Each structure stands twice: as structure tokens, then as C-alpha cells.
């Protein structure tokens, strides 16, 4: 399962640093990250001959997007669209390992972000990207 998750290790810290600095996730990097995850998922499914990897990856990405989209509609402005584009990428990469790993990735990210909220210095836009990256890497490392 290294192929679908390896881009998390490369893009996670990079996107986190950018998000912390300028409070946005660049579309071009997200597009490249998404393509690399999709290629990794496809390659893993072909190499293992297990189509369920691609199916659960698609389900994980779609469900993650829908859940966070609903949360954003409940509280408008809660997430930026950079986060909205990053969420299905994280969901697809972690769900390629297993759907519970994807669930834990988002749970870890949300709990860590909520716990860190009182310690923020700035009360402006909240960079959720670093928490997403951390949750994904921890879930894949510990549970994958």
C-alpha cells in the first residue's frame, strides 16, 4: 500500500508549511498530489489484481468530500476550498489502505485541530491542511 500513500509523505509536510504560512493550499500542488494518489491507487490495484483497492479508495474520497461539504454547509466558512480539495485526496489515499484507516485519519485530524484551537495566536483563517496531513500519516503509520 506504499504506492497510494507515498504522496502523503511527500506532499503532507510541503502543503502543511504552505498552509501555515499563507493560509491557503495551492491548486497546482493539490492537482499533482491528487494525480499521484490516483496513479498509486491504480497501480496498487493492477499489481495486486485487487479491484477493491480502487473501489474503496473512490468510496473513501467521495464520502470524505460529502461529509466535510455537509459540515461546511452547516457552518459556512468553516473550511476553505483548499481544504475542500485536499479532503478527498486524503480520503482516497487512506481508504486505499482500508476504510477504517481513512475514518481514523479524519478523526485524528479533527480531534487534534479542535484541541489546538485554544492555543492559536491568530484568530483569522484556520489552516486545517496540516492537521489533515498529520492525521493521515499517523493513521496509515499506526493502523496501516
Pairwise CA distance, residues 63 & 69, whole Å: 10
Which pLDDT does position 72 carry in this prediction?
82
Digit-by-digit pLDDT tens for the chain (144 residues) are: 788 899 998 999 999 999 888 888 999 999 999 999 999 999 999 999 999 999 999 999 999 999 988 988 887 766 778 888 999 999 999 999 999 999 999 999 999 988 887 766 666 667 889 999 999 999 999 997
Which pLDDT does position 71 carry in this prediction?
84
Phi-psi label, residue 87: left if phi above 0, alpha if psi -120 to 50, beta otherwise: alpha
Which pLDDT does position 130 carry in this prediction?
92
Amino acid at each position: 500500500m506504499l504506492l497510494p500513500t507515498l504522496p502523503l509523505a511527500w506532499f503532507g509536510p510541503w502543503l502543511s508549511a504552505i498552509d501555515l504560512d499563507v493560509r491557503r493550499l495551492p491548486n497546482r500542488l493539490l492537482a499533482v498530489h491528487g494525480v499521484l494518489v490516483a496513479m498509486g491507487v491504480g497501480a496498487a490495484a493492477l499489481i495486486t489484481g485487487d479491484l477493491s483497492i480502487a473501489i474503496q479508495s473512490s468510496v473513501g474520497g467521495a464520502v470524505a468530500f460529502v461529509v466535510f461539504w455537509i459540515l461546511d454547509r452547516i457552518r459556512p466558512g468553516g473550511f476553505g476550498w483548499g481544504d475542500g480539495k485536499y479532503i478527498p485526496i486524503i480520503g482516497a489515499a487512506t481508504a486505499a489502505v482500508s476504510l477504517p484507516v481513512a475514518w481514523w485519519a479524519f478523526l485524528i485530524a479533527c480531534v487534534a485541530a479542535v484541541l489546538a484551537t485554544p492555543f492559536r495566536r491568530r484568530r483569522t483563517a484556520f489552516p486545517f491542511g496540516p492537521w489533515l496531513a498529520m492525521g493521515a500519516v499517523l493513521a496509515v503509520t499506526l493502523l496501516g
